[in-house]
Every structure is written in C-alpha cells, then in structure tokens.
A = this chain, B = another copy of it.
Amino acid sequence: MLNYTIYPIGTIEKSSEKTVLRIYDKYLEGLSKIEEFSHLICYFWFDRNDTVEGRSRLKVHPRKDPDIPLHGVFATRSPLRPNLIGMSICRIISIRDGMIEVDRTDALHDTPIIDIKPYIPKSDAVPDAGVPNWIHKPWPKK
C-alpha cells in the first residue's frame, strides 16, 4: 500500500513551568527568521496511539464524553485517527538554540514534533466559522 515516511524534527518538553519545542540540531537552520512571527503552528505525532487499533478507529465520542453522540474521527480532534497528526497553535515566548518556548500545546510531554509552520491570519484565521453546540460544552471532569 502506498505510504509516506515522517521523520521527527524535534520533541515537546512540557513541565508544570513551561512548554518547550526542542528542535534537533540537524534541523536548526530551518528555524531561521521564525521570530518574525508571533505565533506558529506545531504539528506533532500522537505516538502513544501508533498501533493498529489506535489507527483503525473511525468513530469516537468527542472528548470521550458519552453524552456527545459518536462522530467520525475527521469531525473531531481526537488523538485516535488513521494518521496520527496533531496540531497546536502556539504563541512564541522565546527562541534560543533550537529551544522554542511557547505558551501552550495540547500534546503530552515527550511527543515527537513533525513540522512547524508560521501562523498567518490571512489564511489561517476564520473567526466566524460555524461549529456545533457541543464545542461550547464544558469538558467532562477527568
């Protein structure tokens, strides 16, 4: 079956104090001038779910909330999906030696980073996009 290969370019380091995108030395040059932007898009790989089962689920309850009906995974941001791509939009706090401190990410500590792009409001911001009501529901307690 036709497929493509992803090589991690770095790793997410998360502590209670800060969130850092650590880019491997090999790819450092690719960050040149990223400080021109206030925000970036971080793409990562949900590596904990990289199993046949994790990649074959096509329907889930969004947020694992049984009160929200089953949705196709492509209609959710679930970390279970055929290709385990995750995305966070992050504000850049500081950059030094391939360590990008950012305000936040949904990813877990030690998650592989697979791409970074600059955030460009002209193409990326659609403030009035329509969403269903469950998006506004509080998340279930853990």
Which A residues are closer than 8 A to B by beta carbons?
1-9, 23, 27, 29-34, 36-41, 43, 45, 47, 50, 58-59, 69-77, 81-85, 87, 89, 112, 114-132, 135
Can you report 27 residue pairs joining A to B where beta carbons are below 8 Å apart? A1-B7, A3-B6, A4-B84, A4-B112, A7-B82, A9-B83, A27-B58, A30-B72, A31-B74, A31-B75, A32-B58, A32-B71, A32-B72, A32-B75, A33-B71, A34-B71, A34-B72, A34-B75, A36-B131, A37-B131, A37-B132, A74-B116, A81-B115, A82-B115, A83-B114, A118-B131, A120-B135
Are A126 and B81 within 8 A (Cβ)? no
Report whether A131 and B121 are in contact in the complex, using a CB–CB cutoff of 8 Å. Answer: yes
Least CB distance, A21 to chain B, in whole angstroms: 10
Interface secondary structure of A, over-half rule: mixed
